[in-house]
Amino acid sequence: MPLAVRFRAAVSLLGRFPALAGVDLDVAGGEVVLVQGPNGAGKTTLLRAAAGLVAVASGEAEVLGHDLTRDRRAVRRRVGLLGHATFLYDDLSVADNVRFAVRAAGRNRSIDDALAKLELDGRVRDVAVARLSAGQRRRVAIAALVARQPDLWLLDEPHAGLDADGRDLLDGLVAGAAADGSAVLIASHELERAGAIAHRTVTMAGGQIHAASGPVAPLAPEAREPAGVS
Amino acid sequence: MFRDAALVAGKDLRIEARSRVATNQVAPFAVLVLVLFAFALDPDRGVLTTAAAGLFWVAVLFSSLLAVQRSFAVESADSARDGLRLSGLDPAGIFLGKASAVAAQLLALEVVLGIGIVTFYDTRLHGAALLLVTCLVATIGLAAAGTVYGILAAGLRVRETLLPLLVLPAVAPVLLAATRAWQVALGQSADDGWRWVQLLGVFAVVYVAFGVLAFGPLLEES
């Protein structure tokens, strides 16, 4: 599998503070990598840098073959970021939000499948997002991500706010995306939960990756299935 | 670029259709401005008629601030602006889409205000073509300039108070030229109204071109 993410001594500055202080990281297509570390370690910045939202000031940073130090915008249509915020429009309906995300990515596919996967295809489909609970909003954000079918999934605390069913659904979707060849980078403090769907774990501290564990190459498809997902 | 512009304009107009902020807040505000001017100048109704063109465009200008603020407020909630950047949409398309949505709301508002000045200010509309073209070109300029300054202020904590300070001086030429053109169209001046429309056209072209080129970097930095 070609590398989806390749960072070498990547430095990103938030103001004058080096939130990434020389990161080395490879993520292959079809691989699920868990990034763990204490608050302020740089996990969120790493994901935002991979999405092209935060500039890489020095070092090398390639995502899906695009050099982020030259052009951060080119990669954005091919990545999906689930952040602390949901990036949703309160006054639009669930379906309108997902449809906008799909069309903005230059795709013209049906959103029905993504809504059904997140169990948003009933009455809730036409409800304004402002009227949903935090967990339902999270599901809408995941549905938008699924509908876009990105080649790189960037998930920041993806299980936060989800109920047990939602967590199982998400784990199944991540496993499915990896099986289809997408790379997945997860930043999470829920090590047991996220670790169960990851092929390997890297540990960040002080804006650098200090330790890695688990296999470097993607696991065989049958080994990727998380517990409880058929 | 134009596909992206249509997508963003459609999204913004759908948000307005569902939230009804423009119809329930911006339009009443604009009519209120006209009515308050009428209260202030009521003793001499002739003054109202003479000043109708200027008062109309002052009301449009104030309303455009609300429309632009609203346009970027929907992008601030829940980090939607990050979502917009991540979407992969062409920044020039985002600019044109947001400016088009603001322009569409302002044009609808101008119809309401036009009825308002006929009703409250006893004004008679004469040169229909000049009136309509002035509205169209001035509105494009206002929407384009407002959208440029809107994204400039969007990422700042003081955006609500900063936006008027940025926009009002910048769009002063629109107020001047549109008022002069309307005075001709209302039969209150023998000036060449189309000359003022040309000035409005230059303003609109400059801000549309600037927005298309600069919106991307401004969006990245916001």
CA-nearest residue of chain A to B216? A73
To the nearest whole percent, how much of chain B has pLDDT over 90? 45
Residue-wise pLDDT for A115-124, tens only, equals 888 888 878 8
Our CA dihedral for A50, A56, A61, A67, rounded to 10 degrees, sits at 90
Higher pLDDT, A194 or A169: A169
Looking at residue A61, its amino acid is A
Residue with structure tokens 């599998």? A1
**pLDDT attached to residue A225:** 42
In angstroms, what separates the C-alpha of B24 from chain A's closest C-alpha? 15
Residue-wise pLDDT for A97-148, tens only, equals 999 988 888 877 788 888 888 888 878 888 999 998 888 999 999 999 999 8
Average pLDDT, chain B: 88
CATH number (1.10.3720.10, 2.40.70.10, 3.40.50.80, 3.40.50.300) of A3-88+150-224 reads 3.40.50.300
Judge whether residue A10 has pLDDT over 70. Answer: yes
State whether ipTM is beyond 0.95.
no
B90 touches chain A (CB under 8 A): no
Contacts of A29 (CB under 8 A, 6+ apart): A1, A2, A3, A4, A151, A181, A182, A183, A218
Are the beta carbons of B80 and A100 separated by less than 8 Å?
no
Judge whether residue A24 has pLDDT over 50. Answer: yes
Residue-wise pLDDT for B74-115, tens only, equals 888 777 778 888 888 899 999 999 999 999 999 999 999 998
| Confidence at A214, pLDDT banded by 50, 70, 90 | low
Partners of residue B80 in chain A, C-beta under 8 Å: 87-89
**pLDDT attached to residue A69:** 87
**pLDDT attached to residue A216:** 42
Hey, which residues does A28 pair with through a beta bridge?
A3
Closest alpha carbon to A149 in A94, A78, A90 = A78
Judge whether residue A223 has pLDDT over 60. Answer: no
Are the beta carbons of B11 and A89 separated by less than 8 Å?
yes
Tell me what the mean pLDDT of segment A59-79 comes to: 87
To the nearest whole percent, how much of chain A has pLDDT over 90? 25
Residue-wise pLDDT for B142-187, tens only, equals 999 999 999 888 777 777 778 888 889 999 999 999 999 998 888 7
Give the residue extent of every domain in chain A: 3-88+150-224
B198 touches chain A (CB under 8 A): no
Whether A97 contacts A124, CB under 8 Å: no
Judge whether residue B45 has pLDDT over 80. Answer: no
B121's enclosing H/E stretch is: helix B91-121
Judge whether residue B220 has pLDDT over 90. Answer: no
In angstroms, what separates the C-alpha of A217 from chain B's closest C-alpha? 28
Hey, which residues does A208 pair with through a beta bridge?
A205
Partners of residue B87 in chain A, C-beta under 8 Å: 76-77, 101, 104-105
Radius of gyration of chain B (CA): 18
**pLDDT attached to residue B125:** 77
Average pLDDT, chain A: 84
Are the beta carbons of A88 and B83 separated by less than 8 Å?
yes
A183's enclosing H/E stretch is: strand A183-187
B83 touches chain A (CB under 8 A): yes
| Confidence at A151, pLDDT banded by 50, 70, 90 | very high
According to DSSP, the β-strands at A32-36 and A66-67 are unpaired
Judge whether residue A227 has pLDDT over 60. Answer: no
Judge whether residue A8 has pLDDT over 70. Answer: yes
Joined together, the tokens standing for residue A214 give: 């688990």
**pLDDT attached to residue A229:** 36
**pLDDT attached to residue A85:** 84
**pLDDT attached to residue B61:** 93
Give me the phi and psi of B193, to 5 degrees please.
-65, -35
Partners of residue A78 in chain B, C-beta under 8 Å: 88
